[in-house]
Chains A and B, each alone.
Chain A
């Protein structure tokens, strides 16, 4: 619309369509044949060749061309003849939409975006933790992974060997002298320094995996130089707390996770 003003100032827009020599834009699909009502005040009468009858091989034909009067000034053709000429460009008034208090709007937008962040972080956190849960052992594995042993029937000073996850587990009901022996030993000088307190939950019960830490043989109970276990394969000696004392074994016998159920006199391994 601004170009209305510009036209008078001989300001040229680059043509977007090809124009006929008469100045009419070439628009083959538009019907430009509408003739304007004869205007007695018009300066230029339509030329004689612009209409009339002609005889062709297929019969009489009427031809009607309309050419607008030649313009001295270039004027943009409008699609709507009803367009109102305006002095100012027609731009909607946005002032009604402007925020009255920009501080409120600013705080609100931060709150909204922040809330989105809060929810997304919460969703992401639970997704990740649920995914990690799938990596944990499933319920049926966990159900099999526990073994309950009735320890009330094990007399003092006796070994019991049970099977847990396919491995033997030694359970020894130690006598008071054995406990004293295990606790008084100078464990800091051992190959794998570990105190007896660390290895047992109750001093009279020693629970450990019966797999030699050297090459995986099953040690023999109540044997060896230290009154504990002795591995017949390569001669590793373990003391009464299951600590490696002599021979090739690099580590103490492993203590599995276990718990005591005092009410029923049971030991739960796993």
Chain B
């Protein structure tokens, strides 16, 4: 800022200060003898008085205000540039509530009964449109189903295999190693069956959406009638949590849609919670093991950290507490 000022101003101010100072010194010499001076040069005196003067304060304030005004006149309001919104806030979707998932905490595993119910919801509701490409039948074993159950479920699905001895492809019942069947053979078929909208694969959907499990739950349970003034195209549905508000998927979960085999009442939110837990497991099958390993690692490494501080202090103790004493050579002259 100083460099922007005309150099003449500085010079004038300093010479003025010197003049006043010289007369003051000569008139009060006797008083200033003992405390001769606390500042050693005239130039720093000048700078000091320049910095402290009201004129400087006023002009700097004026300069700043003028700059701000000029800038605002040119580019828009402060403190930032004027914002130009190409989108409305509703285009980003409503923020989901943070729900207390049973697997939220540092030490919490998935609720596997919920995963099992969620698989049932997925199979009976979601699987009509959504694929789950990255999950094989064997992944369910030891997580939500027994090996025999999974094998039976896999055998209900026919998979192409081959070629056989005649070079023909053939259909065979599924095995544990097979992946979940997709509802559509390819993306184009999926689009054609859903009015041009592609139902996303759900294998990693919890990780792939901002907000994760909270978002999916909010979306599944958040369908409402469009508010006044919001136009929704034919075939689209309004959901405030969906970025943009309008999505092709309609509300699918209604109370009592699924009959759970463990007797849990199948309310909309219960089904949504279960299916989101299932999808969260599908996205993070390593979740339980990861948290368990995390507990171990945190305990081990924090203990090691404390111990290493002890070892450091132990090693440095003698070095830091060393006394150095100087013994002058013995006096031979006797002074």
Using a CB–CB distance below 8 Å, which chain A residues touch chain B?
Answer: 2, 5-6, 8-11, 31, 33-35, 37, 51, 53, 58-62, 64, 89, 91, 94, 97, 109, 112-113, 115-116, 119-120, 122-123, 139-140, 143-144
Contact = CB atoms under 8 A, between A and B. Distances in A.
Nearest to B303: A119
B328 A31 contact: no
Interface of B: 18, 22-23, 25-26, 29, 32-38, 40, 136, 138, 176-177, 300-301, 303-304, 307-308, 310-311, 314, 321, 323, 325-326, 328, 331, 333, 335
Given A112-B314, A113-B311, A140-B177, A6 B33 contact: no
Q: Is the interface of A mostly helix, strand, loop or mixed?
A: mixed
B36 A35 contact: yes
24 contacts: A8-B335, A9-B331, A9-B333, A11-B328, A31-B38, A34-B36, A35-B34, A37-B34, A53-B29, A62-B26, A62-B29, A62-B32, A64-B36, A89-B325, A94-B321, A109-B314, A115-B307, A116-B304, A116-B307, A119-B300, A119-B307, A120-B304, A123-B301, A140-B177
A4 to B, nearest CB: 11
Given A94-B323, A113-B314, 13 more contacts: A9-B328, A10-B333, A10-B335, A34-B34, A37-B34, A58-B18, A59-B23, A62-B26, A113-B311, A116-B311, A119-B304, A140-B177, A144-B177
Contacts of A143: 136, 138, 176-177
Nearest to A63: B36
Nearest to B18: A58
Specify which of A10, A37, A91, A144 lies most central, judged by the most chain B CB atoms within 10 Å of its CB: A144
Contacts of A6: 328
B166 to A, nearest CB: 14
Shortest 9 CB-CB contacts between residues of A and residues of B: A143-B177, A116-B307, A60-B26, A59-B22, A33-B36, A64-B36, A9-B331, A144-B177, A62-B29
Contacts of B328: 2, 5-6, 9, 11
A59 B304 contact: no
Contacts of A61: 22, 25
A201 to B, nearest CB: 23
